[in-house]
Structure 1
């Protein structure tokens, strides 16, 4: 058996080779599997809880990255052919499993690991295969590195908030935007929504409220659209993260994942009303079977000049409810606070 110090040394070398800038800080022995589970931190912010998974170091010196679900080591051992567990399920595959931690002596770091596990599980029962694909794992690694280099919005725990608030089987409307707000404290993981304490609303949200008024709805006295998400409206951006002050900075990296989400929604038998605001959203239109689903388009809410007028006068909210009623799917109370 290698020592804890040797395991940490192997883990540190792995992190260095990956270019992550992180460093191993402690190793806990997993006696069931005969491996070391190594936690890590950002050495530039030693007092901050780091949202992340963990590394497993075997006695042969192999290093493997894992998530923080309770059976993550079991699944790793299975994938390496070292366990008697059933074959198909991946680390992120079971939607209702608890988020207890791997053996970890640091309770503050444990809380961060739990938050990360939740934040990286968008509809695992539906997107499970997608979450195991190399491109998605590379995407998560890219976002982690971006957060080390500078501010990225929204925070890790809100990255997949739209999926957590609106389950796949309940989605009846999809509003597809562009990317999150790129200024501090605005992005919440729901497209166009901001926290309730934001006093001055972004231009796009002010135009949305103006469009609501024109359609006969009274906007709430804030910019938090959580109530829409809880009424089965999926508030999805085509890119789910963005660098501070750099709109569209992560658009390319999220393209494949967003297309997979739209494809899965398109497979739903029960019709969905897709609201595509702006060119990036409308570029996904060819993924939607319009013989089964409804599509409504309009300029992006942040548009200016004539396009802004066209957005406000498009009648989107009234039209969504008209089509929902035609589908016998009820309607949305757009003005609920």
Structure 2
């Protein structure tokens, strides 16, 4: 459970991580497990991060979480929120990925971070008060040092968790969550994927290949 080198000097890893790591060592079977806990940070560096998508915590079903927000392993059926994300992508771009593994987004500089990086099986949100949230804020603030970012903030949790961080030169797309309970309240029809790509191109960056 070693923090990725590019992020290891964040104050969180000095001030918060030792106690949290101890708690995890005393908690059997938590997800996504030690080898994937920092997958979102390992997949990109602060300098390469161009887009931020924030989730809440890993999927609590064993075998589903792979350490990236909203992502599942390739052989896992799509969770309901991810089904709606792909539905909106098809409406927006005409296509969606073949599986729910979103690692190809992360490889292109999309920080797929959860506010909590661990969860016990079957107990969504159980580690939400363990002190994880500060890591997401620090990681985003560090990435902002390298230039403007596009924020895709789905739902009140993400919007509150990163409140005050998006700047005037960042792109902020804040809508309802893709959950079946709220997707029709502003998520469907928001076209975040094309809007982010239009903004990236205007910034002089390559667009994200969301479908590959």
Q: TM-score, normalised by structure 2?
A: 0.92
User: Secondary structure of the residue that 2:147 maps to in structure 1?
Assistant: coil
Q: Do the aligned residues in 2 keep the contact of 1:263 with 1:287 (CA within 8 Å)?
A: no
Equivalent residue runs for 1:1-337 within 5 Å: 119-122=1-4, 124-147=5-28, 151-198=29-76, 200-253=77-130, 254-266=132-144, 268-304=145-181, 307-309=182-184, 310-336=186-212
Task: Identify which of structures 1 and 2 has the higher relative contact order when contacts are C-alpha pairs closer than 8 Å and 6+ apart.
Answer: 2
- Aligned alpha-carbon RMSD (Å): 1.7
In the alignment, the residues of structure 2 paired with residue 287 and residue 329 of structure 1 have an alpha-carbon distance, to the nearest angstrom, of 25
In the alignment, the residues of structure 2 paired with residue 184 and residue 214 of structure 1 have an alpha-carbon distance, to the nearest angstrom, of 31
Deviation of 1:213 after TM superposition, in Å, equals 0.6
Deviation of 1:215 after TM superposition, in Å, equals 0.2
Please list every run of 5 or more consecutive structure 1 residues that lacks an aligned counterpart in the other structure. 1-118
In the alignment, the residues of structure 1 paired with residue 183 and residue 166 of structure 2 have an alpha-carbon distance, to the nearest angstrom, of 28
How many residues align structurally?
Answer: 210
Residue by residue over 1:117-164, the C-alpha shift from the partner in whole angstroms, topping out at 9 and shown as x without a partner, is xx3213x344415255232211111122122xxx31101100011111
Larger helix share, 1 or 2: 1
Q: TM-score, normalised by structure 1?
A: 0.59
In the alignment, the residues of structure 1 paired with residue 41 and residue 7 of structure 2 have an alpha-carbon distance, to the nearest angstrom, of 11
Q: Do the aligned residues in 2 keep the contact of 1:191 with 1:236 (CA within 8 Å)?
A: yes
Instruction: Give the number of the structure whose alpha-carbon radius of gyration is greater.
Output: 1
User: Secondary structure of the residue that 1:276 maps to in structure 2?
Assistant: strand
Deviation of 1:250 after TM superposition, in Å, equals 1.1
Larger strand share, 1 or 2: 1
Deviation of 1:248 after TM superposition, in Å, equals 1.1
State the 4+ residue runs in structure 1 displaced beyond 6 angstroms. none
Deviation of 1:259 after TM superposition, in Å, equals 2.2
User: Secondary structure of the residue that 1:175 maps to in structure 2?
Assistant: strand
CA spacing shift, 1:265–1:129, aligned 2, 3 Å: closer
